[in-house]
């Protein structure tokens, strides 16, 4: 077969393009089949469809890397991309706790400098690029296996993540930290009589069958962040980084769909017999105020150099 100069050139370009493509290994902090992972699946598909120089290879969830070890795995480069709530890597980046306390949107935070501020802290402390934030505007709730006074949880043991340790402790609960994969057993055996979680996912995890009450209003805002090992990020081409940044904006634009899904899940909880403990008036104000103030006080204690500025940028109506 006669190979022309044009064919050789085309083949060289194809080989060059293939060799320039970078595959990044992705791990999620959340169990398979949960609503928390659905946006990640969409994000991976979008990246793999639109980015010619970067591809994502999904390795799995906590079975690949335990939930609370994922942040360190991203920092070391054992994992290229981690999908995790700040609650699972707060020990690495304490200032990331400001995410839960924010009262403005991720779009606002990209515009006013908050995202850049947080990204610099992720760069410095975690060796990670804070690429995208999902689940913006989806609140946490306190769920219980028995009726109780939400302002006095004394006598109850409640499962926590670092997200709401200070708040639930302030309400009088005995708190126990455990990863999501252990919560069902804890509820079933009566080790814990409540837990904090978003308005999404308790059916996927089976917790709904053991839950009798949900406290309203919700508090804080949840998050699932896409974090890229900084060394791997810096090694990407300009085109590769640009494409991932564009994909980040694309997936963040879908946060409104998650907020709508959250409302649908609340209705589903009602249908399943989970009763709302609805706080009103002064009790409601006390609940939300204690949530905010205990959260900011905790952050001020662990990061006095950054807490004030983060509050200005991320909770401008709560200063």
Q: What does pTM read for this prediction? A: 0.83
pLDDT at 319: 61
User: Is 3 a domain residue?
Assistant: no
Structure tokens at 53: 């120089």
pLDDT at 215: 98
- Specify whether 86 is located in the same domain as 49: yes
User: Looking at the predicted structure, is the pLDDT value of residue 16 above 50?
Assistant: no
- Specify whether 47 is located in the same domain as 85: yes
User: Looking at the predicted structure, is the pLDDT value of residue 25 above 60?
Assistant: yes
pLDDT at 18: 42
User: Kind of pairing, strands 128-134 and 81-84?
Assistant: unpaired
Dump pLDDT digits (tens) for 89-110.
998 999 999 999 999 999 999 9
- Between 238 and 316, the more confident residue is 238
- Specify whether 120 is located in the same domain as 231: yes
- Specify whether 132 is located in the same domain as 101: yes
User: Looking at the predicted structure, is the pLDDT value of residue 279 above 70?
Assistant: yes
- Specify whether 50 is located in the same domain as 88: yes
User: Looking at the predicted structure, is the pLDDT value of residue 48 above 90?
Assistant: yes
- Specify whether 121 is located in the same domain as 216: no
pLDDT at 138: 87
Q: What is the CATH number of the domain that holds 153?
A: 3.40.190.170
Dump pLDDT digits (tens) for 127-172.
999 999 998 888 999 999 999 999 999 999 999 988 899 999 999 9
- Specify whether 78 is located in the same domain as 163: no
Q: Chain-wide mean pLDDT for the chain?
A: 91
- Specify whether 234 is located in the same domain as 216: no
- Specify whether 171 is located in the same domain as 39: no
- Specify whether 242 is located in the same domain as 291: no
User: Is 5 a domain residue?
Assistant: no
- Domain that residue 204 falls in: 140-221+273-314
SS3 of the chain: the string is CCCCHHHHHHHHHHHHHHHHCEEEEEEECCCCCCHHHHHHHHHHHHHHHHCCCEEEEEEECCCCCCHHHHHHHHHHCCCCEEEECHHHCCCCCHHHHHHHHCCCCHHHHHHHCHHHHHHHHHHHHHCEEEEEEECCCCCEEEEECCCCCCCCCCCCEEEECHHHHHHHHHCCCEEEECCHHHHHHHHHCCCCCEEEEECCCCCCCCHHHHCCEEEEEEECCCCEEEEEEHHHHHHCCHHHHHHHHHHHHHHHCCHHHHHHHHHHHHHHHHHCCCEEEECCHHHHHHHHHHHHHHHHHHHHHHCCCCHHHHHHHHCCCCC
User: Looking at the predicted structure, is the pLDDT value of residue 15 above 80?
Assistant: no
User: Is 7 a domain residue?
Assistant: no
- Specify whether 305 is located in the same domain as 191: yes
User: Is 265 a domain residue?
Assistant: no
- Specify whether 133 is located in the same domain as 51: yes
User: Is 12 a domain residue?
Assistant: no
Decide if 27 contacts 78 (C-beta within 8 A): no
Total domains, the chain: 2
pLDDT at 35: 81
């Amino acid at each position: 077969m006669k190979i022309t100069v044009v064919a050789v050139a085309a083949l060289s370009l194809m080989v060059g393009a293939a060799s320039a493509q970078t595959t990044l290994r992705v791990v999620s902090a959340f169990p398979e089949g949960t609503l928390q992972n659905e946006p990640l699946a969409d994000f991976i598909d979008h990246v793999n469809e639109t980015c010619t120089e970067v591809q994502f290879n999904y390795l799995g969830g906590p079975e690949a890397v335990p939930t609370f070890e994922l942040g360190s795995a991203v920092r070391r480069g054992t994992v290229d991309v981690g999908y995790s709530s700040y609650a699972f890597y707060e020990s690495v980046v304490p200032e990331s706790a400001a995410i839960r306390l924010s009262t403005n949107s991720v779009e606002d935070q990209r515009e006013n400098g908050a995202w850049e501020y947080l990204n610099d802290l992720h760069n410095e402390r975690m060796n990670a690029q804070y690429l995208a934030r999902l689940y913006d505007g989806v609140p946490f709730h306190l769920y219980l296996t028995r009726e109780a006074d939400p302002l006095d949880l004394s006598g109850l043991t409640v499962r926590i993540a670092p997200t709401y340790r200070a708040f639930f402790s302030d309400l009088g609960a005995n708190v126990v930290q455990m990863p999501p994969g252990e919560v069902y057993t804890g509820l079933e055996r009566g080790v814990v009589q409540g837990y904090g979680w978003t308005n999404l996912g308790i059916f996927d995890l089976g917790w709904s069958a053991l839950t009798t009450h949900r406290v309203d209003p919700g508090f804080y805002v949840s998050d699932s962040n896409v974090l890229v090992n900084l060394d791997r990020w810096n090694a990407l081409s300009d085109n590769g980084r640009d494409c991932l940044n564009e994909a980040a904006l694309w997936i963040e634009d879908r946060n409104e769909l998650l907020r709508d899904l959250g409302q649908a899940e609340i209705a589903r909880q009602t249908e399943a017999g989970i009763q709302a403990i609805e706080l009103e008036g002064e009790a409601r104000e006390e609940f939300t105020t204690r949530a905010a103030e205990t959260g900011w006080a905790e952050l001020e204690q662990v990061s006095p150099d950054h807490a004030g500025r983060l509050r200005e940028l991320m909770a401008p109506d709560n200063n």
